Structure 1
Amino acid sequence: MRTTTVGDVTLLLPDLDPEDLDQVSDLSDGDVRDGLVDGVSWRGEQLAEQSIRGCRITGADLGEVSWEAGALYGCEIAGTDLSGATFTGISIERCSVTGTRFTGTRFIDVRLKDVLFDSCRFDYATLNRVSVAGSVAFTNCTLGHGSWSSCRLSGVALRSCDLSDLELESCRLDGADLRGSRLHHLRTPLDNLHGVVLGEDQLSDLTRLAVETLRIVVQAEV
């Protein structure tokens, strides 16, 4: 395992050696462990109560996968398509995810711990009742036009992300680090931003959001 730091968040992540992994091409009914999953297509597969552990997944097509009540643990995922997938009641822990597409993906009752999402696309993704149980960071991710509801994301790092037209409803983000992220057109009641950390350069976006949310009329003096 290795550690990395994003802002004030320190994450414990896997450090896999491809030479120690066995090539995996087929998705069996059992758990997948210590596998090298390169360029496979498991599009539309149905997974229930399965675990994927200690695997490196690169260039794979996992679009429209449906995964319920399982675990993703100690994995590295890079350049993979997970668009249109549905994750329900799974745990994602000690994982590094880079350059991966989650367009239109749905996360329902998902638990995150020590997970780094770097340069990923979550546009039009839905997060419902997602919670963090440890360090979690999103860096350089596109989160636009998504919908997050009833999520518990205290202390999460959302650094240098595009939050344009992201809709937040009944979310808890206290202590979340949003420095460097674009807040323009973020759609949320102000109480969802209670206790977040911003940079001085983001105050104009926050002011604009407050004016729009409170329907304040700004007029020139006569």
Structure 2
Amino acid sequence: MRTTTVGDVTILLPDLDPEDLDQVADLPIDDIRDGLVDGVSWRGEQFADQSIRGCRITGADLGEVSWEAGALYGCEIVGTDLSGATLTGISIERCSFTGSRFTGTRLTDVRLKDVLFDNCRFDYATLNRVSAAGSVAFTNCTLGHGSWSSCRLSGTALRSCDLSDLELESCRLDGADLQGSRLHHFRTPLDNLQGVALGADQLPDLTRLAVEALSIVVRTEG
């Protein structure tokens, strides 16, 4: 069993042996299992009620795919482009994403459990009703200029991420670990941050959020 720990979050990772995987080039009409998906281009393809299980996906172009229902389980995704993709009602469990791109991606009603996003780009991405059913971590990710609404991400680790211009609305992040993350122009109601963990160096950004939320007028004497 392979695990990794980010702060207080321990994630169960996929444990794949490339020698046990079969090369996959063409997109099948049914589920994909135990496959090695390397450098394929399935850009703009449609997935419906399909599952991808026990696969290693590297250098793939999955930009603008539309995936509704189904599951991604026990997979490693490395250097893969999912820009502009639409993921709706899928479950992602025991998966790791490394150096992958989600620019402009839309995730709706997505369930996450034991998922690690490392050095990924989520700039301009939209997350709506995304929930963490288990351990989830974002490390060294770019999440700026995105929009998250009605997400339930309690206890999630967002370590050393760029949250610049990320907008949160009606989200639950209680117990989330935001230490080391950049909060420049981070936009959220204060109650979305109830119970999060921050570093001392992030307190000026938190003060700015509080001043803006409470419409406090700061004046110099004289």
Query: Normalising TM by the smaller chain, what interval?
Result: over 0.9
Runs of 4+ displaced beyond 4 Å: none
TM-superposed deviation, 1:112:
0.1
Matching residue of 2:41: 41
Matching residue of 2:6: 6
Matching residue of 2:191: 191
Work out the CA distance in 1 between the residues paired with 2:213 and 2:183. Answer: 13
SS, match of residue 4 in structure 1: strand
Work out the CA distance in 1 between the residues paired with 2:208 and 2:189. Answer: 13
Work out the CA distance in 2 between the residues paired with 1:51 and 1:124. Answer: 26
Identity of aligned residues (%): 87
Q: Which runs of 5+ in 1 are unaligned?
A: none
Work out the CA distance in 2 between the residues paired with 1:129 and 1:220. Answer: 43
Work out the CA distance in 1 between the residues paired with 2:5 and 2:131. Answer: 20
Counterpart residue identity of residue 59, structure 1: G
Normalising by structure 2, we get a TM-score of 0.99
Q: Which runs of 5+ in 2 are unaligned?
A: none
Normalising by structure 1, we get a TM-score of 0.99
Work out the CA distance in 2 between the residues paired with 1:184 and 1:195. Answer: 20
Work out the CA distance in 1 between the residues paired with 2:184 and 2:146. Answer: 14
Q: Deviations over 1:51-107 (max 9, x none)?
A: 000000000000000000100000000000000000000000000000000000000
Matching residue of 1:51: 51
Work out the CA distance in 1 between the residues paired with 2:163 and 2:74. Answer: 28
Counterpart residue identity of residue 96, structure 2: S
Counterpart residue identity of residue 190, structure 1: L
**Does residue 1:167 correspond to 2:167, yes or no?**
yes
- How many equivalent residue pairs? 222
Q: Deviations over 1:11-47 (max 9, x none)?
A: 0001211111000001111000000000000000000
Matching residue of 1:106: 106
The CA RMSD measured in Å over matched residues stands at 0.6
Matching residue of 1:214: 214
Matching residue of 2:153: 153
SS, match of residue 37 in structure 1: strand
